[in-house]
Structure 1
Amino acid sequence: MNRKLFVVFWFVSALFFLFLEHICTNHSHENYELMLKAAENMIQMTNIVRAHRDSLSEDDINDTGLLGSEFTLMTTTLGDLEAKRTTTNPDFAAVILHMLMKAGVKQGDSVAIGASGSFPALLIATLSACKALDANPIVICSLGASQWGANMRNFTILDIMYWLSKAGMCSMPVAVSLGGDLDTGVNFPEDLKRSLIEKIRRYNVEFINEPDLARNVSVRMKLYRTSAGKSGIAAFVNIGGA
């Protein structure tokens, strides 16, 4: 290649590289710092949960501690493994923070969260976003979970929230149900139901055991409104089949 032509190509390439670097470093999102904080919160919460896992799922190739088993007695529905893995990315906390801010959530607002055990990583992402925003998450969870969710007796969505609350990262849920069919765990073996109910009582969380859909929703709405107080609910986040 002609030496002069080579120099021109090199010069153009260098300018292009500097241009890309300028774009990447000087055009960050207006809420970049908050989004970064949310992602950092999720990393911290994930580490807390992983430290409490006796053993990790063989399908948890990234060792997050946020995946359960393919099938257990607590498994309520089918799930997608790749979807479960994808939600463990801490960037999801930044995405949820962005969505909450677009919905108008600001510091001090209450965010109602309904979460089954199907996507524990998304619950952690939402809690992480609320913490970064200094918003108040009000969680009602159900213990049933789809495949690869928090579907093990010693790894339920309630256990996760307990571990995080003990570490000062969030509060315990205001209430919990068994989940599954009719939201009362009718498809669970009796010994499993007894074990889960005992866990709920041990954690001193209000137990929702109402098979009638209308009354079930009414109980949940009353709990959300009571917990939020006069300020009301700024946004609702549904995670899984809660």
Structure 2
Amino acid sequence: MKKYSLYLLAISVGICLLLGEVGFGKKHENFNEMLEAKNLMIKLSREIYSEKVNRAINIDKKLDILESGLIGEEFTGITTTLGDLDSKRLSTNPEFAAYFVKELKNKGLKKDDVVYVNMSSSFPGLNLSLISALDTLGLRGVIINSIGSSMYGANNEKFIFLEMTNFLKSKDMIKNSVELYTLGGDADEGLNFDEDIKGQLVERLKNIDIPKLDFKNLNDNIEKRIAYYGKYPDPKYFINIGGIWFLQN
């Protein structure tokens, strides 16, 4: 059902953008910003692809048929759940960045408005499209990311989604990026990760200036997320991409 919903959304996005461009003689009122966000997403995707090549990370072109750089592997040490390859391919479409702009403008959001964002690493394409839209509109995205990913998402432990955004920000290609993270997966602590890979990952992340959300249990996790978001008052919207699987002990 999720796959078909994404198919329909992708088709709808294409139709909306076609009408926005052709529009029977009229462009959509937000067409220029929609196009800007789309073009930014294309640049970000190309940069991630190039960086994966630089890091000698294998890109399976049978999986990533569009060479987006945003399709992961089937199973890795940080793969959390099953995932649909077609849905992951569709989610790399840069038109989603334009779609996010359209929807955010429809909600009446304006420059400097605060948007709370929770995203897993299962749909890196959608994540980057949202960041492209936020940057284009000058919105302040308060982004919390969980590292774990379902199949074919950002599940290569050598270059996780948090590191992708950190890399793009270091090159001044994006303004909004991940600023707080959890491991994701079981209990949001990666209990189903490969232990050796998890240990290596945790050590590597100590060198990144992005704090990890530490918590005692599910309730504490939720309360601390709310407290972190609360540092940035008067939010206009909350956006969630992907899912986090909490396992209560």
TM-score if structure 1 supplies the norm length?
0.85
Name the residue aligned to 1:152.
Answer: 156
Q: Alignment length, in residue pairs? A: 219
Q: Check whether the contact 1:139–1:174 (CA below 8 A) recurs between aligned residues.
A: yes
In structure 1, C-alpha distance between the alignment counterparts of 2:105 and 2:202, rounded to whole Å: 36
2:182 corresponds to 1:182: no
In structure 2, C-alpha distance between the alignment counterparts of 1:212 and 1:72, rounded to whole Å: 26
**Once the 2 structures are TM-superposed, how far is the Cα of residue 200 of structure 1 from its aligned partner?**
2.2
Measured on the aligned residues, the alpha-carbon RMSD in Å equals 1.8
Question: Which structure 2 segments of 5+ residues have no match?
Answer: 1-18, 245-249
Name the residue aligned to 2:208.
Answer: 203
Query: In structure 2, do the counterparts of structure 1 residues 44 and 195 end up closer, same or farther at CA, with 3 Å as the change threshold?
Result: same
Identity of aligned residues (%): 35
Q: Check whether the contact 1:114–1:140 (CA below 8 A) recurs between aligned residues.
A: yes
Picking from 85, 88, 92, the partner of 2:92 is 88
Helix, strand or coil for the counterpart of 2:206? helix
Q: Check whether the contact 1:184–1:210 (CA below 8 A) recurs between aligned residues.
A: no
Picking from 208, 229, 241, the partner of 1:239 is 241
**Once the 2 structures are TM-superposed, how far is the Cα of residue 55 of structure 1 from its aligned partner?**
2.6
Picking from 107, 114, 126, the partner of 2:111 is 107
Structure with max Cα Rg: 1
Picking from 191, 194, 219, the partner of 2:196 is 191
In structure 2, C-alpha distance between the alignment counterparts of 1:38 and 1:215, rounded to whole Å: 36
Name the residue aligned to 1:116.
Answer: 120
In structure 1, C-alpha distance between the alignment counterparts of 2:156 and 2:27, rounded to whole Å: 40
**Once the 2 structures are TM-superposed, how far is the Cα of residue 103 of structure 1 from its aligned partner?**
2.3
* Cα deviation code 1:116-138 (max 9, x no counterpart): 11000111000000011011111
Q: Check whether the contact 1:183–1:211 (CA below 8 A) recurs between aligned residues.
A: no
Picking from 39, 55, 66, the partner of 2:58 is 55
Q: Check whether the contact 2:131–2:177 (CA below 8 A) recurs between aligned residues.
A: no
Helix, strand or coil for the counterpart of 1:206? coil
Name the residue aligned to 2:144.
Answer: 140
Query: In structure 2, do the counterparts of structure 1 residues 167 and 241 end up closer, same or farther at CA, with 3 Å as the change threshold?
Result: same
**Once the 2 structures are TM-superposed, how far is the Cα of residue 190 of structure 1 from its aligned partner?**
2.1
In structure 1, C-alpha distance between the alignment counterparts of 2:191 and 2:236, rounded to whole Å: 33
Runs of 4 or more above 6 Å deviation: none
**Once the 2 structures are TM-superposed, how far is the Cα of residue 204 of structure 1 from its aligned partner?**
1.9
Matches within 5 A, 1:222-237: 222-226=227-231, 228=232, 230=233, 232-237=234-239
TM-score if structure 2 supplies the norm length?
0.83
**What letter matches 1:33 in structure 2?**
N
* Cα deviation code 1:38-73 (max 9, x no counterpart): 101101111111111133133000101001001111
In structure 2, C-alpha distance between the alignment counterparts of 1:211 and 1:133, rounded to whole Å: 37
Name the residue aligned to 2:27.
Answer: 28
Name the residue aligned to 1:17.
Answer: none
Name the residue aligned to 1:214.
Answer: 219
Q: Which moved more, 1:23-32 or 1:177-186?
A: 23-32
In structure 2, C-alpha distance between the alignment counterparts of 1:156 and 1:234, rounded to whole Å: 29
